Structure 1
Amino acid sequence: MAQTVLITGCSSGFGQLAVRTFSANGWNVMATMRAPEKDTDLRDLPGVALVRLDVTDTASIQAAVTETVQRFGSIDCLVNNAGYGGHALFEQFDDAAMRAMFETNVFGPVNTMRAVLPMMRKQGHGTIVNVSSMAGLLGLPGNAFYSASKFALNGLSEGMALECEAFGVRVHVVEPGAYPTTRFGANTDNALDVGDDQVAGYSRKLRAHIEALGEQMAQQGGDLADPQEVADAIYSCATSKDAPIHNPTGADARMLDSMIQSAPSRQAFLEQMRTMLLPQA
């Protein structure tokens, strides 16, 4: 009998690739997104069904979970992929933007895990894969709130991985580096001019520097990083009992993780990163 995965944030990027990967490997896939009626890419794939799910709306989560169980019989894997990004200095991020980011990146996975974990615990097996970010390994200047949300997701995943072992439920976190698909849309830069001239001027300068660095890191070895790597990492977590809790994915994320592990202290690591991440005067 085919296993079933429910994936959030499937309208594009890693989520869409994950749907294709699970489908190609014979899984039943409930591909969820806020507006499934707009999909033109996934609905005809083998074993794939679409349903509306907004991770900030608990009623839509419960409805999607119920429909998945009714259609496929159970949920063997949950992939929390939906994400919210934004670039701005701390002073430029207003309260609404901060809360929206945490609602999607932290409380969204909390909501979906609350909906499926009792079922997984009772059936004695299940896997949860939370898609985080390289930003969950390092507090990025100009992305402090985004990093904070991903640090929170990483810590939540790590703690849950340990506490869920007793119930036969595995929890993993995938931490992608820079990929072409990780652009969150033009609206993520809409606060860069907020504030006085000092704040806005530095914010623009920092953003340009980070953009250039990201382009460089996304092309490790001369080729644009392939986002299929992330879908493959998600699938590996779902299918391999030997998969680690933390899964930095992409040459840049693995390099960053290696730097963290090899540095004599966290402060020494941050000193290394300062010259890379901050624009020179």
Structure 2
Amino acid sequence: MTNKVWFITGASKGFGRILVNKLLKRGDKVAATSRSIESFADIKDSNFLALEVKNLADEQTVKQAVEKTIETFGAINILVNNAGYGLLGAFEEISDAEMRTEFDVNVFGTFNTIRNILPFMRKQKSGQIINISSIAGFVGYENWTAYNASKFAVVGFSDSLKHELKPLNIRVLCVMPGPFNTDFLNNNSLKVSDQRISDYKTNAVHSAWDEMNHKQEGDPDKAMDALIKLVDENNINIDQAFFGKWAYQGAKEQIKNIENQMNEISSLVEHLEYN
């Protein structure tokens, strides 16, 4: 599937930037968003459209970016919702404002791009939406409550959306990576709650993740190669994909744990209907 038009959010670094470079190299057209258009200053390619979107939660700004892409390239075939950041902290430590900002970027930004691109995909009777969630959208982790909640929201949303869009020939793929060697654990991508409550040991958890920074086993180049291959192969049976050994093993353990619990309480809860 070459010579397609991609719209990618959060493309200034990490997965997004790697994906942009790979797609341009193979001749696809790419519109990419960043909070600062200067982050794309080094890209000199007529197939690239740089879009400055400082706040994906601002629907009007997102709408303008989508319209500019359609005006420039005539279509959007594939949307990749990649923008997001981590928020570390136990739930009691996280303020309402911190939680809402996390959801604005990770969840409502995703909603806004999809809402504004769907009319064009419906008109062209085709398209693919790729939502980058996380293994943290399938498995809960200590002191990642807000991030877990936002990524679970993306997974649940994607799982429902796929049913709505399938009759319209628009596919939805939710990708759930584990730790990859990107800048995700850097201070500008990973925030820590302002409040500290000693009982929750957030400082120790933060130190452990900080120690992992740029030592993650996942290769982001291979991850984006896999993503492109999934798109090209267009396997209609795949709508969720766990990326990397950490994610794959974590998902298997979570599924096994759920099955064990279902078996343990089946006699209590399986038959709760009226006789």
- Asked if TM exceeds 0.5, the reply is yes
Q: Counterparts in 2 of 1:177-196, with a 5 A limit?
A: 177-186=178-187, 188-191=190-193, 194-196=195-197
Q: Alpha-carbon deviation of 1:23?
A: 1.3
Please show how residues 232-271 of structure 1 align to structure 2 within 5 Å: 232-242=225-235, 244-263=238-257, 265=259, 267=261
Tell me the distance in 1 between the aligned counterparts of 2:214 and 2:250. 14
Instruction: Tell me by how many angstroms 1:262 deviates.
Output: 3.8
Deviations 1:193-238 (A, max 9, x none): x244434xx22223334556x579933xxxxx21113322332343
Identity between Structure 1 and Structure 2 (%): 31
Alignment-derived partner of residue 100 in structure 1: 101
Shift of 1:45: 3.8
Is contact 2:139–2:254 with CA below 8 Å preserved after alignment?
A: no
Q: Distance in 2 between matches of 1:216 and 1:70?
A: 39
Number of the residue aligned with 1:207: 206
Residue 265 of structure 1 aligns to a residue whose secondary structure is helix
Amino acid at match of 2:27: G
Secondary structure of the residue that 2:182 maps to in structure 1? helix
Q: Distance in 2 between matches of 1:27 and 1:216?
A: 30
Distance 1:112 1:2, change over 3 A: same
The aligned counterpart of 2:216 is 218
Report whether the alignment pairs 1:11 with 2:5: no
Gaps of 5+ in 1: 220-224, 269-281
**TM-score when scaled to structure 2?**
0.85
Name the structure 2 match of 1:44: 44
Aligned residues: 258
Give a deviation string over 1:71-96, Cα, whole Å, max 9, x none: 11111111100002111111111111
Tell me the amino acid that sits aligned with residue 218 of structure 1.
Q
Partner SS for 2:56 = coil
1:182 and 1:251 map into 2 onto residues whose CA distance is: 19
Amino acid at match of 2:245: A
Match for residue 269 of structure 2?
none
Distance 1:216 1:83, change over 3 A: closer
Unaligned regions of 5+ residues in structure 2, if any? Answer: 263-275
Q: Distance in 2 between matches of 1:51 and 1:211?
A: 31
State whether structure 2 residue 230 is matched by structure 1 residue 231. no
Tell me the SS of whatever aligns to 1:218: coil
Give RMSD over aligned pairs.
2.3
Report which stretch shifted further, 258-267 or 92-101. 258-267
